[in-house]
Amino acid sequence: MSEATLECKGLSKHFGTNAALHDLNISLPTGKIIGLLGPNGSGKTTLIKLACGLLTPTEGEIKVCGFKPGIESKALVSYLPERTYLPEWMTVLECVRYFQDFYADFDYERAVSMLQSLQVPANARMKTLSKGTKEKVQLVLVMSRRARLYLLDEPIGGVDPAARDYILGTIIGNYCEDSTVLISTHLIADVEKILDEFIFIKNGQLVSYASTDSLREDLGKSIDEYFREVFRC
């Protein structure tokens, strides 16, 4: 059995008296696309930031490919945050070259090819692009790395429906069999067709972790249907 790509043991994160995550135990396998799903405030982004090393646990531990968050783990993680972070004054191609200089596992040709497929103007400055196009640029940069763990926080939230299928295809086509993709999203119906597995969390606690196929076979439901049932207000 191969080592888990992401493993959490008794993981908790408190902000003051608020427990964003509480005693989370989960082990994510290699070679899967996994949905991280839950209502607003359920702890999804907190978990992703802990895996990136941007936050430190209050209790318990989290490991990426056996490493605690640090220099070794950060070299294996490719992270797409929910908000745009690229410098507004840079051109798209300058952003690509910036990533190429910064990450040893960055594939320049792959990035340029994806930008062309998405019809993103390479010489345009970031400040001139729409929110959706900026998100496309960020996703291309993230998926052009040869990472072991891709952490995507709302990767299709700001793009039009016509671009979503291409972006989801980009995610499928640009991760290796020895990698894991963890996608946090509210657009479950759009994303579930590419998911191998899904995680439901609520109030920082694990509600369900199962394969997409088992849900369909055992309950005859889509993830979107099951989500609405589990988290009904």
Asked whether residue 19 carries a pLDDT value surpassing 80, the answer given is yes
Query: How far, in Å, CA of 20 to CA of 106, rounded?
Result: 33
The CATH topology of domain 6-230 is Rossmann fold (3.40.50)
Domain limits of the chain?
A: 6-230
Which of 16, 79, 83 minimizes the C-alpha distance to 52?
79
Model-level pTM?
0.92
Q: What is the mean pLDDT of the chain?
A: 90
The more confidently predicted of residues 21 and 190 is 21
The mean per-residue pLDDT over the stretch 83-96 comes to: 90
From start to end of 160-233, where are the E strands? 180-184, 197-202, 205-211
Q: Quote the crossing angle between the two packed helices 161-173 and 108-117, to the nearest 10°.
A: 160
CA 50 remoteness from chain centre = 13
